[in-house]
Amino acid sequence: MRSHDRYISPFQTRYASEEMQYIFSEDNKFKTWRRLWIALARAEQRQGLPITDQQIAELEAHRDEINYEVAEAREKEVRHDVMSHVYAYGVQCPAAKGIIHLGATSCYVGDNTDIIVIRQALTAVRRKLLNVIALLADFAEKYREMPALAYTHLQPAQLTTVGKRATLWLNELMMDLEEVDHRIGSLALLGSKGTTGTQASFVELLDGDDARIKAIEDDIAAEMGFEKVVPVSGQTYSRKVDAMVLNALAGIAQSAMKFANDLRILQNFKEMEEPFEAHQIGSSAMPYKRNPMRSERICALARYLMVDVLNPAFTAGTQWFERTLDDSANKRIAVAEGFLAADAILNIMLNVCDGLVVYPKVVRARVLNELPFMATENIMMQAVKKGGDRQELHERLRRHSIAAGKVVKEEGGRNDLIERVLADPAFQLSEAEVTELLKPEDFIGRAPRQVEEFLDGVVRPVLAANRELLGERAELSV
């Protein structure tokens, strides 16, 4: 039953997926601790320490049976989470309790688990990011040739296409994917470095045998699925890792906010729209409203995530010497919630991109309303070919454009520039000739080909290499 008499994080009830919530759950953490203790025991056994197969088998048998009640009762007594779980594991494994955590410090399980959890979370983020990219790639392909107004300074400029604009969103997401891949590839376990990073306890256990000490780390990394451990450390892995990872997530937030803000403006223009369900209510006061609540939520969560990067950045900068503990309370909130926010943002983007609505007639009407201004140079060149004076025609077009703009802005009328040009004998142009100059498709440059080149050369190869991860969709909780 959900409790209604205390604070519950909205990430839990409204935003983040069950998958991401489990990745940062206590259950996942403590089961990973036990996997690390087993890996340590196995590695130490290989290097000749007196650890038996029966002890390891006992640890394996209870690996996923966390006796939380015992651990929680013990922590109230000793005020130490790691030693409480060492004790609880030992209660279940009496024959092996003496070799659990042998030679290790708390960060052996704490920090190694954090890196493992970060990799799990980045892998989930990567999968969802790929699926958003796949949906937008299909959208860009579908609308690659549909002319649309392009904007600079949020003022109508030249034309683009609906699909070409989607490639701008896609390109930034591809940059984010590259950064996420880099971060995953850069992750390394802390390994078994000891209290201040010198491995002094392992020097004692293994009689100073460097090769055997290094072999323990290599074996632990291999068992946990890592190719490397950090080359040097204090007690912890460098907190810059958390800062770098959160920056990658914040990059996704930046791209998502750009997409969502563009869509909110386009929805105001009535050119495009996010999905709106049959029974969805847009406003409690205005029944006709179709508010872009999904895009607004993306923007809200993106702001949170972009600001959250300051937490690990300050944490990294304020670590003293081999470590201090002022990282822990901040880190366990900032890193987890950074991932929960990124997960929520991508869930919403999956939902939105799976149901983007385009209104072609509105898009074209807005194009045609602005196109006469954009076509003035073409009109002038055609009139010059008929013997007109370029300078005189330029001045006439300037005056006609100002007058037409006044009708639109001051009188609320429609753009009548073309009628003014047709009525001016200096241009010597027929309605058919001017109409021929006003085809939106002639003003989109290489946009359709740019879409095809970008999708074929950049996006599709990545999607093809990850096809087994595609096909994911997302439903919103609220």
Q: Are 359 and 146 in contact (CB under 8 A)?
A: no
Tokens linked to 368? 């045609």
At 375 the pLDDT is 83
Alpha carbons within 13 A on the beta-carbon side of 263:
28
Catalytic residue check, 283: yes
Between 1.10.3720.10, 1.20.200.10, 1.20.1440.230, 1.10.1740.10, what CATH number should domain 106-278+287-359 receive?
1.20.200.10
Paired strand residues for 229: 189
Catalytic residue among 80, 182, 186, 283: 283
- Asked if pLDDT for residue 433 goes beyond 50, the answer is yes
Q: How confident is the model at residue 399 (pLDDT cuts 50, 70, 90)?
A: very high
- pLDDT tens for residues 279-304? 444 544 444 447 899 999 999 999 99
Q: What is 376-437's CATH superfamily?
A: Fumarase/aspartase (C-terminal domain) (1.10.40.30)
Asked if domains 23-99 and 106-278+287-359 share a fold, the reply is: no
Domain segments of the chain as ranges: 23-99, 106-278+287-359, 376-437
Residue 19 has pLDDT above 90, yes or no: yes
Cβ contacts of 154 within 8 Å, gap of 6 or more: 265
Global pTM? 0.91
Partner residues linked to 341 by β-bridges: none
Q: Which 3 state secondary structure label does DSSP give 152? A: strand
Which of the following is catalytic: 3, 153, 279, 284? 153
- Determine the Cα–Cα distance for residues 445 and 113; give it in Å rounded to an integer: 52
CATH 3.30.70.20 fits 23-99, yes or no: no
Q: Are 347 and 325 in contact, with CB atoms under 8 Å apart? A: no
